[in-house]
A and B are shown apart, each in its own frame.
Chain A
Amino acid sequence: MIVFLIKRLSNAALVMLAVALMAFMIFRFAGDPVELMVNEQTTQEQRQELRERLGIDQPVLMQFARFVGNAVQGDFGISYRNQESVMSLIAERFPATFELVILATILSLVVGVPLGVITAIYRGRWFSEAVQFASIIGVSLPSFVIGILLILGFSVSLGWLPAFGRGEVVQFGWWSTGLLTHSGRMALILPTVALSLYQITLVMRLVRAEMLETLRSDFVKFARARGVPAWRIHYRHALRNCLMPVVTMTAMNIGALIAFALVTETVFQWPGMGLLFIQAITFVDIPVMAAYLVIVSFIFVTLNTLVDITYALIDPRLRDATT
């Protein structure tokens, strides 16, 4: 298990280094940042001084080493746009995105897993066919359309829920949460639903496919032959064998959701990282873009590693293979 852990962790570190290199490259290909930050009246001395402050007068390799060194300590330099520390900008926005993504994930599992199990068990019945059909719509509608439709329905026509923003938030140190206030919770509903709809259909279809396959397997037939009741076979024996791919997909998708959230956040003007990134692109704010890239990748890699470790916990066969 320890060898396995070390192996997985060093893999993860290598991937992160590659990502850091790519993020760093953006700096080299997006033109001279100094030109973007200064105006015509800036003197040559001021430009030089800014260059030194940004550290871009040094050799490339040195710059990269410093970039990595700083990134490890959570320092991604300062935003070109408003001269603020990138890290504090992101820290300010991260809780909003995180809250949204986690809620969407939970919603997609809570709705998707039972739907998948039910449509697999009652295959061919009218209601499971209906759910199947609805899920095709869920998969094919782009999330911004869903977002806009939700706003149209629940905010504009019915006026039940806010159309944009986070509502009131409560601060805990640098962390802010909308879960503790009424307006914060109301504001969360629409973006969460918009973001999770696609995930629900994915989870449902995956669970359904896996269940159908597992229900055909010998050990399910054998369990029936030794008199295990149907519900117990479905929810204990079969479902557990389906969980591996669900865990993988869910974890991977938390990463994907953070990226998807970009669209949802734009539609709902949700003050998260995605919106920050969109603004950064508009202003060619390279440090913010680079930091976003590194942080999103870091989340991806971390989740991946966690998934591998979770595998070993769910499936006893892998536990042995890795020791």
Chain B
Amino acid sequence: MPDPVLEVRDLRVQFPGRHGTVTALDGVSLHLNAGEILGVVGESGAGKSMTGLAVQGLLEPPGHIAGGEVWLNGRRIDQLSNRQMEKIRGREIGAIFQDPLTSLNPLFSVGSQLEETIRLHLDMTRAEARARAIDLLRQVGIPGPKERIDHYPHQFSGGMRQRVVIALALAGEPKLIIADEPTTALDVSIQAQIIALLRRLCDDLGTSVMLVTHDLGVIAEAADRIAVMYAGRMVEIGPVREVLRQPTHPYTRGLMDSIPALGRRVAHLTQIDGSMPRLDAIPDGCAFNPRCAHVGPRCRRARPALMPTGAGQNACWLTHGGVA
């Protein structure tokens, strides 16, 4: 098997604060192969976006990587300076943000923002960069790219703007794109188009995508593998079919059960009781133990590591020797 494009090993992110240090990510490990889409799901605050930001070196101070390693294309990047990361961001890691309405600078035409990114990362003249910008707009499906290139962000609709954002993410020919909730701010009909576009670009260009979302539907449609996060930890990771059909972690199962099925009317939607613990009050042992229906003494005592199960991995005593 070839080296993965991205490999995150035992990543730990901490935020020192007045009332002690908060550990936002605790022992997160994942990898992405070439041309693969990895869906990262979890509740708000589970650490999905934080993982993406940590990989890009974009954590807001005082947040910092306190442990673990990040390897990109065979090179360790978690210890690089900000100046070195500037060369990697855009060139080796593209980014797509949640809200296309605010991701673009309103005062510059989309062309000038595209050309800026292209010329920062690729050795091109102004004219070449412009030709490439037009080409990128065409690739992401913007009609009339020759005219549209000189338009300003406010002249595009939300969906079109997200296409521009994707074009910007592709501008430096990165091997990896981190897409943080790329469809959340869009209409449902547009969501499907954007997901299909991402899938197609991934296949055509061989780009890997880390798709951060809380929408399991999007994951089911686009991702090859899925990683489920809870309270800053990875709880289950595996091929998307297996995980969605036969989730092995009680939390993943709870997530699946809480999705209403079409065409079936139910009096109550199933939900996971309780809420995710605050990051400064995570219980001992398994972080999910207060909400878990299968909880046993071992779950309160020892923290389960990510261990292989079937086609994937999970972190649950239930499938690894029992909870007693």
Contacts and interface: CB of A to CB of B under 8 A. Distances in A.
A315 B107 contact: yes
Interface in A201-228: 217-219, 221-228
B105 A226 contact: no
10 contacts: A217-B102, A219-B102, A221-B58, A222-B95, A222-B97, A222-B103, A225-B56, A316-B154, A317-B106, A320-B154
B165 interface: yes
Nearest to B57: A224
B103 A218 contact: yes
Given A241-B105, A317-B152, A226 B90 contact: yes
B117 A228 contact: yes
A237 B86 CA distance: 16
Given A226-B171, A227-B172, A228-B90, 10 more contacts: A219-B102, A219-B103, A226-B94, A227-B89, A227-B91, A228-B117, A229-B83, A241-B107, A315-B106, A316-B154
A89 interface: no
State the majority secondary structure of interface residues on A.
Answer: helix
A128 to B, nearest CB: 16
B120 interface: yes
Interface in A41-99: none
A134 interface: no
Contact of A221 (B82, B97, B152): B97
Contact of B120 (A222, A228, A241): A228
Interface string B89-117: 11100110101001111111100000011
Interface in A264-323: 314-317, 320
* Central interface residue in A218, A221, A227, A315, by most chain B CB within 10 Å: A227
Contact of A219 (B91, B104, B117, B155): B104
Interface string A221-243: 11111111110000001001100
Interface residues of B, number: 34
Contacts of A314: 107
B102 A218 contact: yes
Contacts of B91: 227
A8 B82 CA distance: 48
Interface in B129-150: none
Nearest to A214: B105
B102 A227 contact: no
A138 B280 CA distance: 44
A224 B99 CA distance: 16
Interface of A: 217-219, 221-230, 237, 240-241, 314-317, 320
B107 A240 contact: yes
A91 B89 CA distance: 60
B87 interface: yes
Nearest to A319: B152
B106 A226 contact: no
A75 B284 CA distance: 87
A317 B102 contact: no
B105 A227 contact: no
A315 to B, nearest CB: 7
B158 to A, nearest CB: 14
Contacts of A240: 107
A219 B172 contact: no
A226 B104 CA distance: 11
A317 B105 CA distance: 12
Given A219-B105, A223-B105, A229 B86 contact: yes
A219 B104 CA distance: 5
Contact of A227 (B97, B117, B152): B117
Contact of B116 (A225, A228, A317): A228
Contacts of A224: 58, 89
